[in-house]
Amino acid sequence: MIPSVRKAYNEQFTTSAYHHFLQGMAEDAGVAPAFRVAETPVFVPGDLTAKLVQACEEVVNVILRPDFKTLTEDAIPPALRVPGENDHPHFIVIDFAVTRNEAGELEPQLIELQGFPTMNAFQQVMAKQYRNHFQIPAELNNYFNGLDDESYYQLLRDMIIGNLPPEEVILLEVKPEEQKTKIDFYSTEKYLGIRAVCITDLVQEGNQLFYRRDGVLTPVKRIYNRIIFDDLQRQQSTLGEHVNLFQDLDVEWITHPNWFYRISKYTMPLLHSDYIPKSWYLHQLPVIPTDLENYVLKPLFSFAGQGVKIDVTEEDINAISDPENWILQHRVKYDPAIVTPDGNAICEIRMMYIWPDGAARPMLVHNLSRISKGRMIGVGFNSDDTWVGGSCCFFEAIPPAT
């Protein structure tokens, strides 16, 4: 999206460099990505960087409202509420489509947000390998707020492990070795020293949790949670016996599972900004719009794009028996802003926040991007196209105010 940088990158790109880039990530993490990684990062111009940061901070301002928990109480499905919720999420991710406004300028439009961690450890592995194998201008940065590799990983350690021994902190997931994101679990262990543990490997004694680490029964004091609980519920019948996480356990959650629902699609109708498409809870929709081709229908309790209806009809809306669990959102038109050798591509940019205990606001730290040439974005929707898949952004500095 920075024309001069894009042109230079495309001209110096080679398939050999791309293969070495993929190999570099696999060697660093100890496992190859289980999803397609794009041939290119995204180069974000300063004006768009400024708009992304402004949009994020407008979202954060709503999350900081004193009544935010009251407004989002119904976001948590009763069967999925976990005891011991804390005051704020430790991680927030905010996803934007890159679009073009009527003036022809690039701008972000909010797609989704989550009070949940993302590929925090692996994203820097990816960014580093892009720099190692391609010519990325030094003045472009994948970090925010003055962070670098050392301070970023130290921030993650402080946030996830704190003062505990690393062996008493686990990354918790359902069948972690089967997840497409497992490369992040390997990177988390390498750079933070904590292991990925399946829920079926937890042992409960009273309200204490343990797991076997190298054959030794080891206490779990803190859980870096990567379980999506409605997904866990869907898999109950295939998991066999496992610990019930919906009880009052003597463990600290990073991030507490309830925040996955509070900060989610449920939040979108509460947000108002030039960079946030208008949304309604379906049961509060005053009237069905006559231009439904300009809207998308999204289930509140789903992930990875499941259940989203793009070509919405009035019949689709009338057929929904639980409208309180859906939102109707003004459709966002992605701009094919990324020029590739075999056709332009669209992208989403995920802005990644960390919120340490005691901090007044969460801090923007890193990013993730997904590039596509299809109608849907996400690693599960990529076709056989090239120059698509998971990626990261390098941002031009925000220009000074005039």
19-71 pLDDT per residue, tens: 999 999 999 999 999 999 999 999 999 999 999 999 999 999 999 999 999 99
Based on the domain organization, do 251 and 282 belong to the same domain? no
Based on the domain organization, do 173 and 253 belong to the same domain? yes
pLDDT tens, residue by residue, 378-395:
545 556 789 999 999 999
Based on the domain organization, do 282 and 140 belong to the same domain? no
For residues 308 and 333, which has the higher predicted lDDT (pLDDT)? 333
Domain closes at, from 310, 331, 352: 331
108, part of any domain: yes
- H or E element: which one contains 107? strand 106-114
Based on the domain organization, do 41 and 146 belong to the same domain? yes
401, part of any domain: no
400, part of any domain: no
pLDDT, residue 234, reads: 82
Please give the Cα distance from 57 to 353 (Å, whole number): 11
Please give the Cα distance from 63 to 54 (Å, whole number): 15
**What value does the mean pLDDT of the chain take?**
94
Backbone phi, psi, residue 188, to 5°: -60, -45
Based on the domain organization, do 349 and 300 belong to the same domain? no
How many C-beta atoms lie closer than 10 Å to residue 393's C-beta? 26
pLDDT tens, residue by residue, 280-320:
999 999 999 999 999 999 988 765 556 888 889 999 999 99
338, part of any domain: yes
Q: How many domains does the chain have?
A: 2
Cα 162 to the chain's mean position, in Å?
Answer: 23
Based on the domain organization, do 266 and 313 belong to the same domain? no
22 close to 33: Cβ distance less than 8 angstroms = yes
- Tokens 């720099």 correspond to what residue? 131
Please give the Cα distance from 293 to 283 (Å, whole number): 20
Q: Structural domain of residue 196, as residue ranges? A: 3-277+332-395
